[in-house]
Amino acid sequence: MLKVVRLGSVMKIKLGQYMIRDWQRDDVPSLAKHANNSLIAMHLRDGFHHPYGRADAEAFIELVDKQDPKVFFAIASQTEAIGGIGLGLGIDVHRFTAELGYWLAEPYWNRGIMTEAVKTIAQWGFDRLGLNRISATPYTTNPASARVLEKAGFEREGILRASVVKEGRILNQCLYARVREDIDC
């Protein structure tokens, strides 16, 4: 059962001993520390680059602060931000869809944290934002992310061939999606 606490515009969803919550200004040091990792940046878009410093963290949190609705969140322990998860909302005919993105600090990998975060934010997107469909497109060089999506109930719909140029290499993306349970099509 999803446990959501909303205090005005503040959001906090418990994930066992971790949580999904709004980014805060005092997350800048932990964001700059954990995001500064080429093993993370290589799987993300170029906006999340390596090296990643304090100024990048400040700019990101300032950007998120202006979002309405807020759709980029921190994954956090009791003491610091340890990752991020967000929904890029579609527009026009895609306005009931979103694209999911996420990353986790390397010391926390392979403990099931992101699988829980993805399940939780997908349900939140369907319930709170009224989304019909949530997709994600990990590069085919990222089997850990594909596994997370499969464990979180996303279906593999196909391969987007040569759809990305990352760090000078042409890559394929794997298209995964989950559709709201009550939709029949």
Q: How far is the CB of 184 from ligand COA (least distance, A)?
A: 28
Q: Among 24, 36, 77, 115, which residue interacts with ligand COA (rule: CB under 6 A)?
A: 115
Compare residues 6 and 147 and give the one whose CB is closer to ligand COA.
Answer: 147
Site map (CB under 6 A) of ligand COA, residues 77-106, x = contact: -------------------------xxx--
For 96, counting Cβ atoms within 10 Å of its Cβ (0-12 exposed, 13-18 middle, 19+ buried), the class is middle
Distance separating alpha carbons of residues 166 and 42, to the nearest angstrom: 7
Q: In a 3-state reduction of DSSP, which class is residue 138?
A: coil
Question: Which tokens is 106 given?
Answer: 């390397």
Nearer to ligand COA, 95 or 147 (CB): 147
Nearer to ligand COA, 124 or 176 (CB): 176
Name the β-bridge partners of 82: none
Least Å from the CB of residue 105 to ligand COA: 8
Q: Is the dihedral of CA 157, 130, 81, 112 positive or negative?
A: negative
Alpha-carbon gap, residue 117 to 140, rounded angstroms: 21
Site for ligand COA in 47-76 (CB under 6 A): none
Angstrom distance (rounded) from CA 54 to CA 31: 8
- Residue 89's beta-bridge partner residues? 98
109 contacts ligand COA (rule: CB under 6 A) = yes
Q: Per-residue string for binding with ligand COA, 117-146, x by CB under 6 A?
A: -------------------x-x---xxxx-
Choose which of 32, 40, 71, 177 interacts with ligand COA (CB under 6 A).
40
CA distance 7 to 110: 32
Contact residues: ligand COA, CB under 6 A = 40, 43-44, 102-104, 109-115, 136, 138, 142-145, 147-148
